[in-house]
């Protein structure tokens, strides 16, 4: 059987004000109500609970035994209610919440660690769930509202998704320090195609771009092995499995440790563009909007 509570938070606030101040008039002033409204709320509260809560006397009011018990419990309840209100309101204001961010491996390796660390410091109440996916999957997830925000590489327009250019980088040839291509100041892609290559698995935007560039030259990619991450590409190159092409910034942590060299790829298409994306015509939740704005602002500050 469900029992309906015959009073509300405001009734408890009025009661606490009267019990603590010892005066209907002072309680009315504190609660910004007319004294008659305070008296009515107190009478209704006593009727709902079936017991006197305040003893009236010439100098004001004082809690009865039942009133003392209610006063003790009400203080805790009201504080919990205020805490709950602040917490829920913070979600609406974007101060708290959960954001689903999908990004390709290039963005995760090159830019997002530092950017997300800054965001976590600025908005500690917002939890960002980051997942790595190829660019086509990032766009699909944003369009289907599986992800709130995405970061992806060059990609044709995707229905239902808005894309905002953000960070830029350049692709470079990665080779062992003693490799014949490592001795040049720059290298053309046609030269690279004469050597065994290490590449990413199909589905990545980088793999697609290299396939198109090779096809324009009437060639295929001479892939010796395909792996799922940039660190695996670097490890395979260091092991002598071939040369590879990847974003220059993503290669920097591995060059000295693995004895590799990054050589400029002398091609117009070697410049590497990343995009922020969000669903078209669908407002982001407040927390996700804060993350999107932070990513966009950080990208604009990049030299």
Q: Is residue 293 part of a domain?
A: no
User: Token pair 């030269």 is at which residue?
Assistant: 191
Q: What was the pLDDT predicted at 94?
A: 54
Instruction: Determine the pLDDT at residue 207.
Output: 86
Does one domain contain both 134 and 17?
Answer: no
| Whether residues 68 and 120 fall in one domain | no
Q: Please report whether residue 154 resides in a domain.
A: yes
Whole-angstrom Cα distance, residue 142 to residue 15?
50
Domain of residue 218, CATH code: 3.40.190.290
Rounded distance, CA 5 to CA 49, Å? Answer: 9
Q: Are residues 168 and 255 in the same domain?
A: yes
Let me know whether 169 and 199 are in one domain: yes
User: Which pLDDT tens digits describe the chain residue by residue (303 residues)?
Assistant: 444 456 788 888 999 999 999 999 999 999 999 989 989 999 998 898 889 999 988 888 999 999 899 988 888 888 777 767 666 665 555 566 889 999 987 788 888 999 999 999 998 888 999 998 878 889 999 998 889 999 988 666 678 899 999 888 789 999 999 899 987 678 999 999 999 999 988 877 788 889 999 999 999 999 999 998 888 999 999 999 999 999 887 888 889 999 999 999 999 888 878 899 999 988 888 889 999 999 999 887 655
Task: Looking at the structure, tell me whether residues 14 and 148 fall in a common domain.
Answer: no
Instruction: Say yes or no: 88 and 127 in one domain.
Output: no
Residues 38 and 172 placed together within one structural domain of the fold? no
The pLDDT, as a whole number, for residue 80 is: 78
Q: Hey, what are 154's tokens?
A: 């060059």
What is the b/e burial string over 234-244, where b = at least 16 CB atoms within 10 angstroms of the residue's CB? bbbbbeebbbb
Write down the pLDDT at residue 86.
62
Q: For the chain, what is the domain count?
A: 2
| pTM attached to this predicted model | 0.60
User: Is the residue at 301 inside a domain?
Assistant: no
Q: Are residues 259 and 127 in the same domain?
A: yes
Based on the fold, state whether residues 136 and 221 are members of the same structural domain. Answer: yes
Final residue in a domain of this structure, among 52, 75, 92: 92
Residue 142: domain span: 100-273
Among the listed residues 147, 131, 128, the one whose alpha carbon sits nearest the alpha carbon of residue 139: 147
Among residues 64, 92, 120, the one where a domain terminates is 92
Q: What is the pLDDT of residue 150?
A: 95
End-of-domain residue from the set 66, 92, 118? 92
Q: Are residues 110 and 86 in the same domain?
A: no
Output the domain CATH number for residue 16: 1.10.10.10
Say yes or no: 230 and 162 in one domain.
Answer: yes
């Amino acid at each position: 059987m469900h029992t309906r509570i015959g009073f509300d938070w405001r009734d408890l606030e009025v009661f606490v004000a009267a019990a603590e101040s010892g005066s209907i008039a002072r309680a009315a002033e504190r609660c910004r109500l007319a004294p008659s409204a305070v008296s009515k709320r107190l009478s209704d509260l006593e009727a709902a609970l079936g017991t006197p809560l305040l003893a009236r006397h010439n100098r004001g009011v004082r809690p009865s035994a039942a009133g003392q018990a209610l006063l003790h419990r009400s203080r805790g309840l009201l504080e919990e209610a205020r805490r709950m209100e602040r917490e829920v309101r913070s979600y609406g204001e974007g101060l708290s919440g959960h954001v689903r961010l999908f990004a390709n491996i290039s963005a995760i390796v090159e830019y997002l660690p530092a950017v997300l660390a800054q965001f976590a410091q600025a908005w500690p109440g917002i939890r960002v769930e980051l997942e790595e996916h190829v660019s086509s999957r990032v766009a699909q997830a944003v369009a289907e509202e599986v992800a709130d925000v995405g970061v992806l590489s060059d990609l044709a327009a995707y229905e239902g998704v808005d894309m905002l250019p953000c960070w830029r980088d350049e692709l470079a040839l990665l080779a062992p320090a003693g490799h014949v291509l490592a001795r040049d100041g720059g290298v053309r892609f046609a030269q690279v195609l004469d050597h065994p290559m290490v590449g990413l698995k199909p589905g990545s935007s980088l793999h697609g771009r290299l396939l198109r560039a090779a096809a324009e030259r009437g060639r295929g990619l001479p892939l010796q092995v395909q792996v799922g991450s940039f660190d695996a590409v670097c490890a395979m190159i260091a092991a002598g499995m071939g040369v590879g092409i990847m974003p220059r910034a993503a290669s920097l942590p591995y060059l000295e440790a693995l004895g590799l060299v990054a050589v400029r790829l002398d091609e117009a298409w070697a410049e590497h563009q990343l995009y922020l994306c969000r669903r078209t015509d669908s407002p982001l939740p407040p927390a996700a909007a804060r993350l999107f704005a932070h990513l966009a602002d950080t990208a604009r500050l990049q030299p």
